[in-house]
Amino acid sequence: MVDAAVLKQQQFFKAFSEAELKVLSERLNLSDYEPQATIFNENQIGDDSMYIIVQGAVKIVKKNKTEEIFLANLRDGDCFGEMSMLYPAPRSASAVTIKPSKLIRLTDRDYNDFKKTQPSIVVKLNEIFIKTLVTRLREADKRLVKEGSGIGAL
């Protein structure tokens, strides 16, 4: 459980009403993580939760045969793991804390329950997820263009 006042302070939850924040507060969990804690691993199956960073920092990385490839540094207010809410599949990357972090966790079980019981919450969550994914896709394309291989490089 997360205090509704904590949720209200987070930019992620600004679009939610007081009643929706109360419902969310009863279902979400707030946890502390030490530096270098693995939240989830690339290709992991079974934990389809997403997270919001209340305080701290998380890096998102992929591994190939020889090295770890850095994808993103996330900080206070950012979310990650949202793809698993929209489409359950093995994790596309790993998430590891960079420094001590407080994370809010939304499970896929709660998300799917909200589809039936709190559709307005799911609509708002999906809008946030889509904006997040579009922003990240645009940033990834900019990086690829700089390297000469993105959509804009055609």
* Per-residue pLDDT tens digits for 53-99: 999 999 999 988 889 888 899 999 999 999 988 888 899 999 999 99
Has residue 46 been placed in a domain?
A: yes
Range 31-51 average pLDDT: 93
Considering only CA atoms, which of 93, 117, 112 is closest in space to residue 41? 93
User: pLDDT confidence of 150, banded at 50, 70, 90?
Assistant: low
Q: Is residue 68 part of a domain?
A: yes
- Confirm whether 66 is domain-assigned: yes
Q: What is the pTM of this model?
A: 0.88
Give percent above pLDDT 90 in the chain: 71
Domain total of the chain: 1
Exposure of 132 in the CB half-sphere (CA atoms within 13 A): 22
Indicate whether 32 belongs to any domain. yes
> Is the per-residue pLDDT at 122 higher than 90?
yes
**Band of the pLDDT at 129, cuts 50, 70, 90?**
very high
Q: Bridge partners of 40?
A: 95
Domain holding 115, by residue range, is 4-149
pLDDT value of residue 74: 96
Contacts of 65 (CB under 8 A, 6+ apart): none
pLDDT band for 151, please (50, 70, 90 cuts): low
- Mean of pLDDT over the chain: 91
Please indicate, yes or no, if residue 154 is contained in any of the structural domains. no
Q: What is the predicted pLDDT for the residue at 153?
A: 54
Find tokens 């992620």 and name the residue.
12
CATH of the domain at 86: 2.60.120.10
Does residue 69 sit within a domain? Answer: yes
152 with 141: CB under 8 angstroms? yes
